[in-house]
Chain A
Amino acid sequence: MIVTVRFLGLLANWAGISQAAVPLPPGSRFVDLLAEIGRRWAHNMPAQMWDSERQAFIKPVTAAVEPGGALAPQTPLSDGQTITVFLSAAGG
Chain B
Amino acid sequence: MQGYHGKFLKVDLSAGTLGEIPLAESDLRAYIGGATLAAALIYGQVRAGMDPLAPESPLVFATGPLTGSSIPMVSRYAVCGISPQTGYWGEATSGGSFPFRLKGAGYDGLLITGRAESPVYLHIDRGSAELRDAGRLWGRDIYETQRLLKDESLGEKPSIACIMNDRGRAAGRCGLGALMGSKNLKAVAASGGSKTETADRDTVKALAQEAQAVIKGHLVSLALKEYGTLFYMDMAMALGDAPARYFSRSVFPADKLSGQALRQAYTVENYSCLGCPIGCGREVKHFRQDIPRVDGPEYETVGALGPLCLNYDLESIVEANHLCNAYGMDTISTGVSIAYAMHLAGQGALPSDPELGELTWGDGRAIVKLVRMIAERRGLGRLLGEGALAMAQALGRDPDEAAQVKGLEMPMHDARAFHGMAVSYATGPRGACHLKGDYYNVDMGVAVAEFDIRPGMRFGSQNKGESAAKYQGLKDLYDALTICKFSPLGVTQLVKIVNAITGWEMTPADLLAAGLRSLNLKRAINNKLGLTRRDDRLPRVCLRALEEGSTAGREPAMETMLQDYYQFMGWDWETGRPGRARLLELGLGHVAEDLYQQ
Contact = CB atoms under 8 A, between A and B. Distances in A.
A20 B444 CA distance: 24
Interface in B237-280: 238-239, 241, 258-260, 280
B486 interface: yes
Given A9-B234, A49-B219, A90-B441, A65 B224 contact: no
Interface string B221-234: 01110110111101
B459 interface: yes
Nearest to A18: B255
A9 B258 contact: yes
Interface string B355-367: 0000000000000
B163 interface: no
B235 A86 contact: yes
Given A9-B231, A9-B235, A60-B445, A90 B438 contact: yes
B298 interface: yes
A6 to B, nearest CB: 9
Contact of B486 (A59, A66, A91): A91
B222 A90 contact: no
Nearest to B549: A67
A61 B222 CA distance: 12
Contacts of B552: 67-68
- Chain B interface SS verdict (over half): helix
Given A63-B444, A69-B550, A91 B458 contact: no
Interface in B546-561: 549-552
Nearest to B231: A9
Interface in A61-92: 61, 63, 65-70, 84, 86-92
Interface string A22-52: 0000000000000000000000001011000
A57 to B, nearest CB: 11
Contact of B232 (A69, A84, A92): A92
A10 interface: yes
Contacts of A9: 223, 227, 231-232, 234-235, 258-260
Contacts, number: 93
Interface residues of B, number: 43
A55 interface: no
Given A69-B550, A92-B299, A92-B412, A10 B238 contact: no
Given A9-B227, A67-B550, A87 B299 contact: no
B239 A65 contact: yes
A87 B223 contact: yes
A8 interface: yes
Contacts of A63: 444-445
A9 B83 CA distance: 37
A68 B235 contact: no
Contacts of B232: 9, 89-92
Interface string B433-462: 010001011001110000000010011000
A62 B49 CA distance: 50
Interface residues of A, number: 25
Nearest to A47: B217
A87 B170 CA distance: 28
Given A65-B239, A87-B223, A90-B235, A60 B444 contact: yes
Contacts of A46: 219, 222
B219 A92 contact: no
Given A60-B445, A69-B458, A92 B230 contact: yes
Residue from the set B220, B238, B434 with the largest chain A CB neighbour count within 10 Å? B238
B223 A89 contact: yes
A10 B259 CA distance: 10
Interface string B400-432: 000000000000110000000000000000000
B300 interface: yes
A84 B238 contact: yes
A91 B238 CA distance: 14
A73 B550 CA distance: 18
Contacts of B137: none
Contact of A10 (B231, B239, B299, B441): B231
Interface in B4-26: none
A90 B444 contact: yes
A68 B234 contact: no
B303 to A, nearest CB: 8
A92 B227 contact: no
9 contacts: A9-B223, A60-B444, A69-B458, A69-B550, A69-B551, A86-B234, A88-B444, A89-B223, A92-B300
Interface of A: 8-10, 13, 46, 48-49, 59-61, 63, 65-70, 84, 86-92
Interface of B: 217, 219-220, 222-224, 226-227, 229-232, 234-236, 238-239, 241, 258-260, 280, 298-300, 303, 412-413, 434, 438, 440-441, 444-446, 455, 458-459, 486, 549-552
Given A61-B219, A68-B550, 8 more contacts: A9-B235, A10-B223, A48-B217, A60-B445, A86-B235, A88-B444, A92-B413, A92-B434
